[in-house]
Amino acid sequence: MSGCVLRELGVEADWVAFSREWTKDALSMAVLALVFFLFFYSWNQMACAIFRANGFKNKKVVLELGSCSSSLIHCTVVSVLTYYELCSQGWGLFSSSEAFDLGSANTPTGIATMFFCISYMLADLVYLHRFSPGDKQYIVHHWATVVYMALCIWIGRGHLSTMLCIFLGEVTGPINNGMVISNLIVTETGVHTKAAGRANFFFASCLWTGFLLIRVLYAPWGVCWVLGSFYLGGG
């Protein structure tokens, strides 16, 4: 479980080298955060422009499609990065090795992953505050996540707790975003085909299964108990 997807893709060494280079000092980390932020913000705007160019007229739908497109990229990539970080530190789905220490010092790859996530959250907050201020739960969630990860970076520890929460929280994200995007496209175009119905049923079934297995059955032990035992036990 050490190299996971990054090793299979042959990019593990590149990711490690990239992380070391861009987390070596405060200036490098600031530049890294800015680059990631601009990437997500630009991706959102590009996605909106593409949908407008293809005849999508409803502004709310276009904005939601842009937001979901950006979220799809974030949750897919960050799921891979956090899983890699957890595995490389000895985490196991049901049994972790003695090397897995939630209080261990942040690693360069862990810091880079947190900046990747923070930058997405900030870019999405620009959209939320400007176009969807009524989504209070998302706004509070994003700010809480940003503050927690920023504190972990500042004190130099705690990255594994964020990796665990982010991985289990985002791993179902691609399915969720896929379902929302397909629903919005069908709603906007008015094309209700059998293929669209099957796609919706597929996404909905996968999302229901994923939420049941990960958030209802696994998370109470895999996140709440593991983190609670460590922090409340004085770990």
The secondary structure of 5-26 as a DSSP string is: HHHHHT-HHHHHHHHHHHTSSH
Structure tokens belonging to residue 138: 């998302």
Total-model pTM:
0.91
pLDDT tens figures, 164-182: 999 999 999 999 998 999 8
Residue type, 233: G
Q: Using one digit for the tens of pLDDT, what is the confidence trace for 23-67?
A: 999 999 999 999 999 999 999 999 999 999 988 989 999 999 999
Q: Which residue has the tokens 């990711």?
A: 15
For position 42, what pLDDT does the model report? 96
pLDDT (0 to 100) of residue 225: 85
Provide the percentage of residues in the chain whose pLDDT is more than 70. 97
Q: What is the DSSP string of 103-134?
A: TSBPPHHHHHHHHHHHHHHHHHHHHHHHH-TT
Helix residue spans in the chain (DSSP H):
4-9, 12-22, 26-53, 59-88, 108-131, 136-155, 159-170, 173-189, 194-210, 219, 226-232
Q: Phi and psi (nearest 5°) for 165? A: -65, -45
Taking only the tens place, the pLDDT of each residue in 75-121 is: 999 999 999 999 999 998 887 888 899 989 999 999 999 999 999 99
pLDDT digits (tens, 9 = 90+) for 186-200: 888 877 677 777 888
Task: Please tell me the predicted confidence (pLDDT) of residue 201.
Answer: 85
pLDDT category of residue 1 using cuts at 50, 70 and 90: very low
Q: Is residue 3 predicted with pLDDT exceeding 60?
A: no
Residue 234 confidence (pLDDT) = 62
Mean pLDDT calculated for residue range 147-159 = 96
pLDDT for residue 141 is more than 80: yes
Integer Cα distance of 228 and 145 in angstroms: 18
> What pLDDT sits at residue 117?
97
Region 192-221: mean pLDDT is 86
Q: Which two tokens stand for residue 98?
A: 């003695």
Q: Tokens for 4?
A: 């996971």
Distance CA 115, CA 184 (A): 30
- Structure tokens of 212? 């049941």
